[in-house]
Structure 1
């Protein structure tokens, strides 16, 4: 897996440590960056100091995504929460600016298919466009990620095709895809075909093996082949390591040195 830059998702890796120590551990073990969808419990200036001390950067995080304890994974599709979403955009962009982040993920939301209507899609596009417009002047990119039903039941965006359609429909060039290898395979799609199909829109990539979502090389996926496909597609960004360690994080990092 050499030749790529790796970002440690510290919501999954080094979780036996406090957040500040996870960042240090990531740097110590060879990661060039970290990411976490919800950094807001830490003041931005304190986070910036942690990053500086560790000599590491922060690749991307999400806007406020609702109440995780209630299973919420975003609020962008809900018309009744439009104002809450818009407030989250300002908060997120201020935080991004303070810690030097250039990519912010807008989570769509969880809603069973039977309860969905055109209003949810229209609201989603309106909110994405609002976020993109606000982010554009700050040089920040907006990310959309598809999430598989097996991992996140009833997530509004399940495939890269749907994510790409949403991005294009906003009319903003700074709306791109966060492409997740695990979610793609979990949905039953060919990961190589999907990478090639959406190459021009992929701005960030998440990796994990399948089916257990553990470290690369531990299960069924050929990450050498995936790396070659990404290279052939012109991808030069980070590989975000959003996997569940099979044991202690440190014990499973051998793949990172290959």
Structure 2
């Protein structure tokens, strides 16, 4: 596969403390990493932010992508962009990410949309998301990506078309689609059609096989075909490895080297 890879250090190398994972990725032969929101709160202290930045710098890897706060992911939350009453947390994470982005040269910021809230009009949530994402796009020194997700029934963005509608509504030039082959495939989207029709609007790519969300070759997604189509359509960004390894982390990248 001709495109460069980045390792998602929030789903891989999880046997290690978070701050040791960038160095582990470098030792495994990768020069780029990405993270979900790497802090336990939306507004970490200066020492936490400094320790994270130093871990990336000391490892000698590029941090090419980072999520904004996802809220309580373990409890099922998937972002805060559209959640009333959580505006401060979302904006705090934007401010922290903006500082890290300028220091580390982060290219992509994933702003998870947020689940539908019980008792709240969906139109009000979408209005709030537009406001929050417009501010994020203005402040973050890179591309803000909008991601369709699977596995959470109350998350409203399921297909590329869902995400593109949000992107159109925000209307900022640096807001783009996160093309996660796993989530879109699980949700039944037409991956070939998305590439053919919207390649220029793809800001970042993540891969895991389906079913199972494991490494390529464990499921049925024809990655060679789709990644070749992305290349042919002009995508030149990183391909982020965002999967659960079926064995040890040391064996999780055998498919790359084969």
* TM-score, normalised by the number of residues in structure 1: 0.90
Is 1:22 aligned to residue 24 of structure 2? no
Report the secondary structure of 2:145's partner residue.
strand
1:246 to 1:93, Cα distance in 2 relative to 1, 3 A: same
In structure 2, the residue matched to 1:153 is 153
**Aligned ranges 1:157-236 → 2 under 5 Å:** 157-236=157-236
Residue 52 of structure 1, CA deviation: 2.7
Q: Does the CA contact (< 8 Å) of 2:160 and 2:189 recur in 1?
A: no
Report the secondary structure of 1:206's partner residue.
strand
Please give the per-residue CA displacement for 1:169-219, whole angstroms capped at 9, x wherever unaligned: 112101111110001100112211112222111111000111011101122
Residue 115 of structure 1, CA deviation: 5.5
* TM-score, normalised by the number of residues in structure 2: 0.90
Moved more, 220-229 or 107-116: 107-116
1:29 to 1:110, Cα distance in 2 relative to 1, 3 A: same
Q: Does the CA contact (< 8 Å) of 2:8 and 2:33 recur in 1?
A: yes
- 1:84 and 1:49 map into 2 onto residues whose CA distance is 24
Q: Does the CA contact (< 8 Å) of 1:64 and 1:92 recur in 2?
A: no
In structure 2, the residue matched to 1:131 is 136
Return the match for 1:117 from 117, 122, 125. Answer: 122
Report the secondary structure of 2:204's partner residue.
strand
Q: Does the CA contact (< 8 Å) of 2:7 and 2:33 recur in 1?
A: yes
Unpaired runs of 5+ in structure 1? none
Report the secondary structure of 2:85's partner residue.
helix
Q: Does the CA contact (< 8 Å) of 1:34 and 1:56 recur in 2?
A: yes
Unpaired runs of 5+ in structure 2? 41-46
In structure 1, the residue matched to 2:108 is 103
